[in-house]
Structure 1
Amino acid sequence: MLEWLLEPWPWYVSGPLIGLTVPILLLLTGRNLGISSSLRHIGAACLPNTKLPYLSKNYNWRAHTRTIVFVVGVLIGGFIGNFLLSAEPGNFVPGFYASPLGVVGLFVGGIMIGFGTRYAGGCTSGHTIMGISALNLGSLIATVFFFVGGLISTWFILPLFIP
Protein backbone atom coordinates (compact mmCIF):
# COMPACT_ATOMS: atom_id res chain seq x y z
CA MET A 1 0.00 0.00 0.00
CA LEU A 2 2.78 2.47 0.87
CA GLU A 3 4.98 1.38 -2.05
CA TRP A 4 4.32 4.70 -3.82
CA LEU A 5 6.03 6.49 -0.93
CA LEU A 6 9.29 4.60 -1.54
CA GLU A 7 9.45 5.46 -5.24
CA PRO A 8 10.56 8.80 -6.73
CA TRP A 9 7.56 11.03 -7.25
CA PRO A 10 6.94 12.41 -10.74
CA TRP A 11 7.49 16.11 -11.39
CA TYR A 12 3.78 16.77 -11.85
CA VAL A 13 3.16 15.70 -8.24
CA SER A 14 6.23 17.05 -6.44
CA GLY A 15 6.35 20.33 -8.41
CA PRO A 16 2.86 21.50 -7.43
CA LEU A 17 3.46 20.40 -3.83
CA ILE A 18 6.58 22.58 -3.69
CA GLY A 19 4.66 25.38 -5.40
CA LEU A 20 1.87 25.17 -2.83
CA THR A 21 4.34 25.90 -0.04
CA VAL A 22 4.56 29.52 -1.23
CA PRO A 23 0.92 30.55 -0.68
CA ILE A 24 0.61 28.38 2.43
CA LEU A 25 3.71 29.96 3.97
CA LEU A 26 2.54 33.46 3.09
CA LEU A 27 -0.97 32.86 4.43
CA LEU A 28 0.12 31.20 7.67
CA THR A 29 3.21 33.25 8.54
CA GLY A 30 3.32 36.24 6.21
CA ARG A 31 6.99 35.42 5.49
CA ASN A 32 8.99 34.32 2.47
CA LEU A 33 10.58 30.94 1.86
CA GLY A 34 14.37 31.02 2.00
CA ILE A 35 17.30 29.26 3.58
CA SER A 36 20.35 31.42 2.90
CA SER A 37 19.51 33.97 5.59
CA SER A 38 19.70 31.23 8.22
CA LEU A 39 23.49 31.28 8.01
CA ARG A 40 23.44 34.78 9.48
CA HIS A 41 21.01 33.76 12.23
CA ILE A 42 23.05 30.68 13.18
CA GLY A 43 26.29 32.68 13.05
CA ALA A 44 24.85 35.37 15.33
CA ALA A 45 23.60 32.71 17.76
CA CYS A 46 26.94 30.86 17.84
CA LEU A 47 29.14 33.99 18.03
CA PRO A 48 27.30 36.37 20.36
CA ASN A 49 30.42 38.41 21.25
CA THR A 50 31.79 38.88 17.74
CA LYS A 51 33.04 42.22 16.44
CA LEU A 52 31.71 41.53 12.94
CA PRO A 53 29.00 44.08 12.12
CA TYR A 54 27.09 41.42 10.14
CA LEU A 55 26.70 39.36 13.33
CA SER A 56 26.73 42.20 15.84
CA LYS A 57 25.24 42.18 19.31
CA ASN A 58 22.47 44.46 18.07
CA TYR A 59 21.22 41.75 15.68
CA ASN A 60 18.28 39.85 17.18
CA TRP A 61 18.70 36.30 15.90
CA ARG A 62 15.95 35.05 18.22
CA ALA A 63 13.38 36.81 16.06
CA HIS A 64 14.39 34.42 13.26
CA THR A 65 14.31 31.06 15.06
CA ARG A 66 11.59 29.97 12.64
CA THR A 67 14.17 29.97 9.84
CA ILE A 68 16.66 27.95 11.90
CA VAL A 69 13.95 25.39 12.72
CA PHE A 70 13.09 25.26 9.00
CA VAL A 71 16.71 24.47 8.07
CA VAL A 72 16.93 21.76 10.74
CA GLY A 73 13.66 20.33 9.38
CA VAL A 74 15.06 20.28 5.84
CA LEU A 75 18.12 18.35 7.06
CA ILE A 76 16.03 15.88 9.05
CA GLY A 77 13.57 15.51 6.16
CA GLY A 78 16.42 14.81 3.74
CA PHE A 79 17.77 12.14 6.07
CA ILE A 80 14.35 10.53 6.53
CA GLY A 81 13.60 10.69 2.81
CA ASN A 82 16.93 9.14 1.85
CA PHE A 83 17.39 6.47 4.49
CA LEU A 84 13.87 5.59 5.66
CA LEU A 85 11.59 6.32 2.71
CA SER A 86 13.73 5.06 -0.14
CA ALA A 87 14.01 1.60 -1.60
CA GLU A 88 17.64 2.37 -2.53
CA PRO A 89 19.26 5.06 -0.36
CA GLY A 90 21.63 7.26 -2.32
CA ASN A 91 24.94 8.79 -1.37
CA PHE A 92 24.83 12.42 -0.31
CA VAL A 93 28.22 13.07 -1.86
CA PRO A 94 29.53 11.24 -4.95
CA GLY A 95 32.73 9.23 -4.45
CA PHE A 96 34.85 11.72 -6.40
CA TYR A 97 34.51 14.29 -3.63
CA ALA A 98 36.23 11.97 -1.13
CA SER A 99 39.55 12.74 -2.87
CA PRO A 100 41.75 15.73 -1.89
CA LEU A 101 40.86 17.50 -5.15
CA GLY A 102 37.18 16.84 -4.49
CA VAL A 103 37.39 18.30 -0.98
CA VAL A 104 39.09 21.42 -2.37
CA GLY A 105 36.39 21.64 -5.03
CA LEU A 106 33.63 21.40 -2.41
CA PHE A 107 35.33 24.05 -0.26
CA VAL A 108 35.90 26.50 -3.11
CA GLY A 109 32.41 25.82 -4.49
CA GLY A 110 30.88 26.42 -1.06
CA ILE A 111 32.64 29.77 -0.73
CA MET A 112 31.55 30.76 -4.23
CA ILE A 113 27.95 29.74 -3.55
CA GLY A 114 27.95 31.60 -0.23
CA PHE A 115 29.32 34.75 -1.86
CA GLY A 116 26.92 34.46 -4.79
CA THR A 117 23.96 33.93 -2.48
CA ARG A 118 24.82 37.00 -0.45
CA TYR A 119 25.57 39.07 -3.57
CA ALA A 120 22.34 37.99 -5.31
CA GLY A 121 20.21 38.68 -2.25
CA GLY A 122 19.08 35.07 -1.89
CA CYS A 123 19.61 31.48 -2.86
CA THR A 124 18.27 29.47 -5.77
CA SER A 125 15.28 28.30 -3.73
CA GLY A 126 14.38 31.76 -2.56
CA HIS A 127 14.64 33.36 -5.99
CA THR A 128 13.22 30.52 -8.07
CA ILE A 129 10.36 29.38 -5.87
CA MET A 130 9.48 32.47 -3.88
CA GLY A 131 10.73 35.32 -6.06
CA ILE A 132 9.20 34.16 -9.31
CA SER A 133 5.93 33.40 -7.50
CA ALA A 134 5.94 37.01 -6.30
CA LEU A 135 6.53 38.15 -9.92
CA ASN A 136 9.91 39.64 -9.00
CA LEU A 137 11.83 40.48 -12.20
CA GLY A 138 15.20 40.27 -10.38
CA SER A 139 14.38 36.73 -9.27
CA LEU A 140 13.49 35.72 -12.83
CA ILE A 141 16.79 37.10 -14.11
CA ALA A 142 18.69 35.39 -11.28
CA THR A 143 16.98 32.07 -12.05
CA VAL A 144 17.89 32.28 -15.74
CA PHE A 145 21.52 32.83 -14.81
CA PHE A 146 21.44 30.01 -12.25
CA PHE A 147 20.56 27.70 -15.11
CA VAL A 148 23.12 29.24 -17.47
CA GLY A 149 25.82 28.87 -14.79
CA GLY A 150 24.77 25.29 -14.13
CA LEU A 151 24.94 24.41 -17.82
CA ILE A 152 28.37 26.01 -18.22
CA SER A 153 29.66 24.25 -15.11
CA THR A 154 28.26 20.88 -16.13
CA TRP A 155 29.28 20.87 -19.77
CA PHE A 156 32.52 22.87 -19.78
CA ILE A 157 34.11 23.25 -16.32
CA LEU A 158 33.35 19.93 -14.61
CA PRO A 159 34.81 17.82 -17.45
CA LEU A 160 38.16 19.56 -16.82
CA PHE A 161 38.29 18.05 -13.32
CA ILE A 162 36.59 14.68 -13.74
CA PRO A 163 38.21 12.35 -16.27
Structure 2
Amino acid sequence: MEYILQPWPWYVSGPCIAIVMFLLLYFGRTFGMSSNLRTLCAIGGAGKRVEFFKFDWKSQRWNLVVVLGAIAGGFIAHHYLSNPINIDLSQNTVEDLKALGFENAGQSLLPPELFSWDAVLSIKGISILIFGGFLVGFGTRYAGGCTSGHAITGLSSLQRPSLIAVIGFFIGGLIMIHFIYPILF
Protein backbone atom coordinates (compact mmCIF):
# COMPACT_ATOMS: atom_id res chain seq x y z
CA MET A 1 0.00 0.00 0.00
CA GLU A 2 1.43 3.37 -1.03
CA TYR A 3 1.03 6.24 1.39
CA ILE A 4 0.45 9.62 -0.26
CA LEU A 5 1.89 12.51 1.70
CA GLN A 6 -0.18 15.62 2.15
CA PRO A 7 0.94 19.07 3.31
CA TRP A 8 0.63 19.60 7.02
CA PRO A 9 -2.67 21.31 7.78
CA TRP A 10 -2.70 24.72 9.44
CA TYR A 11 -4.07 23.26 12.67
CA VAL A 12 -0.87 21.21 13.07
CA SER A 13 1.81 23.58 11.73
CA GLY A 14 0.29 26.74 13.27
CA PRO A 15 0.34 25.45 16.86
CA CYS A 16 3.89 24.11 16.31
CA ILE A 17 5.02 27.63 15.39
CA ALA A 18 3.11 29.02 18.39
CA ILE A 19 4.83 26.57 20.76
CA VAL A 20 8.26 27.52 19.42
CA MET A 21 7.42 31.22 19.79
CA PHE A 22 6.14 30.70 23.33
CA LEU A 23 9.39 28.95 24.27
CA LEU A 24 11.52 31.67 22.67
CA LEU A 25 9.59 34.45 24.42
CA TYR A 26 9.65 32.53 27.71
CA PHE A 27 13.44 32.27 27.56
CA GLY A 28 13.83 35.89 26.43
CA ARG A 29 14.97 35.07 22.90
CA THR A 30 13.91 36.40 19.53
CA PHE A 31 13.73 34.70 16.16
CA GLY A 32 14.80 35.96 12.77
CA MET A 33 17.05 34.73 10.01
CA SER A 34 18.87 38.06 9.61
CA SER A 35 20.18 37.82 13.18
CA ASN A 36 21.60 34.40 12.29
CA LEU A 37 23.35 35.86 9.27
CA ARG A 38 24.70 38.71 11.40
CA THR A 39 26.09 36.14 13.84
CA LEU A 40 27.71 34.17 11.00
CA CYS A 41 29.32 37.36 9.66
CA ALA A 42 30.61 38.24 13.13
CA ILE A 43 32.08 34.75 13.53
CA GLY A 44 33.78 35.22 10.16
CA GLY A 45 35.48 38.40 11.37
CA ALA A 46 33.30 41.07 9.76
CA GLY A 47 33.45 43.03 13.03
CA LYS A 48 37.03 44.00 12.20
CA ARG A 49 35.76 46.13 9.31
CA VAL A 50 32.14 47.02 10.07
CA GLU A 51 30.88 48.33 13.42
CA PHE A 52 27.48 46.62 12.99
CA PHE A 53 29.14 43.21 13.33
CA LYS A 54 31.06 44.08 16.50
CA PHE A 55 29.11 42.32 19.22
CA ASP A 56 29.41 39.30 21.49
CA TRP A 57 28.48 36.65 18.93
CA LYS A 58 29.16 33.88 21.44
CA SER A 59 26.00 34.89 23.30
CA GLN A 60 24.08 34.25 20.05
CA ARG A 61 25.49 30.79 19.27
CA TRP A 62 22.16 29.23 20.19
CA ASN A 63 20.65 31.13 17.26
CA LEU A 64 22.77 29.13 14.81
CA VAL A 65 20.67 26.09 15.67
CA VAL A 66 17.90 27.82 13.70
CA VAL A 67 20.12 27.82 10.60
CA LEU A 68 20.93 24.13 11.02
CA GLY A 69 17.26 23.39 11.68
CA ALA A 70 16.19 25.28 8.54
CA ILE A 71 18.68 23.33 6.43
CA ALA A 72 17.80 19.96 7.98
CA GLY A 73 14.07 20.73 7.95
CA GLY A 74 14.16 21.76 4.30
CA PHE A 75 16.01 18.56 3.38
CA ILE A 76 13.62 16.34 5.34
CA ALA A 77 10.53 18.13 4.03
CA HIS A 78 11.69 17.89 0.42
CA HIS A 79 12.93 14.31 0.47
CA TYR A 80 10.56 12.64 2.95
CA LEU A 81 7.46 14.76 3.52
CA SER A 82 6.56 16.17 0.12
CA ASN A 83 4.27 14.76 -2.49
CA PRO A 84 5.29 15.71 -6.05
CA ILE A 85 1.82 16.49 -7.34
CA ASN A 86 0.58 19.42 -9.32
CA ILE A 87 -0.30 22.55 -7.40
CA ASP A 88 -4.01 23.27 -7.32
CA LEU A 89 -4.19 26.75 -8.86
CA SER A 90 -7.28 28.49 -10.14
CA GLN A 91 -7.63 28.70 -13.91
CA ASN A 92 -7.39 32.51 -13.75
CA THR A 93 -4.05 32.26 -11.93
CA VAL A 94 -2.74 29.73 -14.47
CA GLU A 95 -3.74 32.06 -17.32
CA ASP A 96 -2.15 35.08 -15.60
CA LEU A 97 1.07 33.14 -15.05
CA LYS A 98 1.11 31.95 -18.67
CA ALA A 99 0.74 35.58 -19.77
CA LEU A 100 3.86 36.33 -17.69
CA GLY A 101 5.80 33.56 -19.46
CA PHE A 102 5.32 30.55 -17.18
CA GLU A 103 4.63 27.64 -19.50
CA ASN A 104 3.87 24.96 -16.90
CA ALA A 105 2.10 27.00 -14.24
CA GLY A 106 0.96 24.84 -11.34
CA GLN A 107 3.11 21.84 -12.26
CA SER A 108 6.06 22.82 -10.09
CA LEU A 109 6.51 24.72 -6.86
CA LEU A 110 9.74 26.20 -8.23
CA PRO A 111 9.12 27.18 -11.85
CA PRO A 112 12.09 26.46 -14.13
CA GLU A 113 11.64 29.87 -15.78
CA LEU A 114 13.01 31.35 -12.52
CA PHE A 115 14.90 28.56 -10.75
CA SER A 116 16.68 26.51 -13.41
CA TRP A 117 20.46 26.89 -13.64
CA ASP A 118 20.07 28.42 -17.10
CA ALA A 119 17.80 31.14 -15.71
CA VAL A 120 19.90 31.80 -12.62
CA LEU A 121 23.27 31.88 -14.43
CA SER A 122 22.12 34.21 -17.20
CA ILE A 123 23.17 37.87 -17.15
CA LYS A 124 19.61 38.80 -16.24
CA GLY A 125 19.44 36.17 -13.46
CA ILE A 126 22.77 37.16 -11.91
CA SER A 127 21.84 40.85 -12.11
CA ILE A 128 18.54 40.20 -10.37
CA LEU A 129 20.28 38.14 -7.66
CA ILE A 130 22.85 40.86 -7.00
CA PHE A 131 20.38 43.75 -7.08
CA GLY A 132 17.73 41.79 -5.15
CA GLY A 133 20.29 40.66 -2.58
CA PHE A 134 21.36 44.26 -2.06
CA LEU A 135 17.74 45.38 -1.63
CA VAL A 136 16.96 42.56 0.80
CA GLY A 137 20.11 43.30 2.83
CA PHE A 138 19.43 47.03 2.87
CA GLY A 139 15.74 46.53 3.67
CA THR A 140 16.46 44.08 6.45
CA ARG A 141 18.90 46.47 8.08
CA TYR A 142 16.66 49.51 7.53
CA ALA A 143 13.58 47.71 8.92
CA GLY A 144 15.49 46.38 11.91
CA GLY A 145 14.89 42.75 10.98
CA CYS A 146 13.72 40.36 8.33
CA THR A 147 10.27 39.18 7.33
CA SER A 148 10.40 36.12 9.58
CA GLY A 149 11.62 38.13 12.56
CA HIS A 150 8.96 40.81 12.25
CA ALA A 151 6.08 38.57 11.14
CA ILE A 152 6.66 35.76 13.62
CA THR A 153 8.49 37.21 16.63
CA GLY A 154 7.44 40.84 16.33
CA LEU A 155 3.73 40.22 15.77
CA SER A 156 3.54 37.50 18.42
CA SER A 157 5.03 39.91 20.97
CA LEU A 158 2.62 42.67 19.81
CA GLN A 159 5.27 45.12 18.59
CA ARG A 160 3.83 48.02 16.61
CA PRO A 161 7.00 48.51 14.48
CA SER A 162 6.72 44.88 13.38
CA LEU A 163 3.10 45.39 12.36
CA ILE A 164 4.13 48.42 10.29
CA ALA A 165 7.03 46.44 8.76
CA VAL A 166 4.79 43.47 7.85
CA ILE A 167 2.25 45.79 6.21
CA GLY A 168 5.16 47.32 4.28
CA PHE A 169 6.35 43.85 3.21
CA PHE A 170 2.94 43.03 1.80
CA ILE A 171 2.62 46.37 0.01
CA GLY A 172 6.13 45.93 -1.41
CA GLY A 173 5.24 42.42 -2.59
CA LEU A 174 2.11 43.67 -4.31
CA ILE A 175 4.03 46.48 -6.02
CA MET A 176 6.71 44.02 -7.11
CA ILE A 177 4.40 41.42 -8.63
CA HIS A 178 1.96 43.83 -10.28
CA PHE A 179 4.29 46.58 -11.51
CA ILE A 180 7.99 45.67 -11.43
CA TYR A 181 7.88 41.94 -12.30
CA PRO A 182 6.02 42.47 -15.61
CA ILE A 183 8.71 44.98 -16.66
CA LEU A 184 11.56 42.58 -15.78
CA PHE A 185 10.04 39.53 -17.42
TM-score using structure 2 length? 0.74
Matched residues, number: 158
Cα distance in 2 for partners of 1:51, 1:2 equals 56
Q: 3-state SS of the aligned residue for 1:74?
A: helix
Distance 1:100 1:77, change over 3 A: same
Which whole-Å deviations, capped at 9, do the CAs of 1:84-142 have from their partners, x for residues lacking one? 32222955962343432112112211111111111111111111111111111111111
**What amino acid sits opposite 1:79 in the alignment?**
F
Flag the 1:123–1:2 CA change in 2: closer, same or farther, 3 A.
farther
* Superposition deviation, residue 18 in structure 1: 2.0
Could you tell me which residue of structure 2 aligns to residue 129 of structure 1?
Answer: 152
Per-residue deviation, residues 7-31 of structure 1 (Å, max 9, x unmatched) = 222334323332332112222x321
Partners of 1:34 and 1:122 within 8 A in 2: yes
Is 1:82–1:90's contact at 8 Å kept on the other side of the alignment? no
Unaligned residue ranges in structure 1 (runs of 5+): none
Alpha-carbon distance, 1:2 to partner: 9.6
Q: 1:31 aligns with which of 29, 32, 35?
A: 29
Q: Give secondary structure in 1 for the equivalent of 2:7.
A: coil
Q: Is the 8 A contact 1:128 1:143 kept in 2?
A: yes
Work out which of the residue numbers 44, 69, 72 in structure 2 matches 1:73: 69
Residue matched to 1:10: 9
Distance 1:49 1:120 in 2: 21
Distance in 2, matches of 1:108 and 1:137, equals: 29
Identify if the C-alpha distance between structure 1 residues 50 and 142 changes in structure 2 by more than 3 Å, giving closer, same or farther. same
Larger radius of gyration: 2
CA distance in 1, matches of 2:60, 2:35: 9
Q: How does 1:1-163 map to 2 (within 5 A)?
A: 3=3, 6-27=5-26, 29-47=27-45, 50-56=48-54, 59-88=55-84, 91=110, 94-95=115-116, 96-162=119-185
| Distance change >3 Å, CA 48–CA 106, structure 1 → 2 | closer
CA deviation after TM superposition for structure 1 residue 69, in Å: 1.9
Once the 2 structures are TM-superposed, how far is the Cα of residue 3 of structure 1 from its aligned partner? 4.1
Distance 2:61 2:2 in 1: 34
How far 1:34 sits from its partner (Å)?
A: 1.4
The amino acid that maps onto 1:9 is: W
Gaps of 5+ in 2: 85-107
List, as ranges, runs of 4+ consecutive aligned residues in structure 1 with deviation greater than 6 Å: none
Q: Which amino acid aligns with 2:69?
A: G
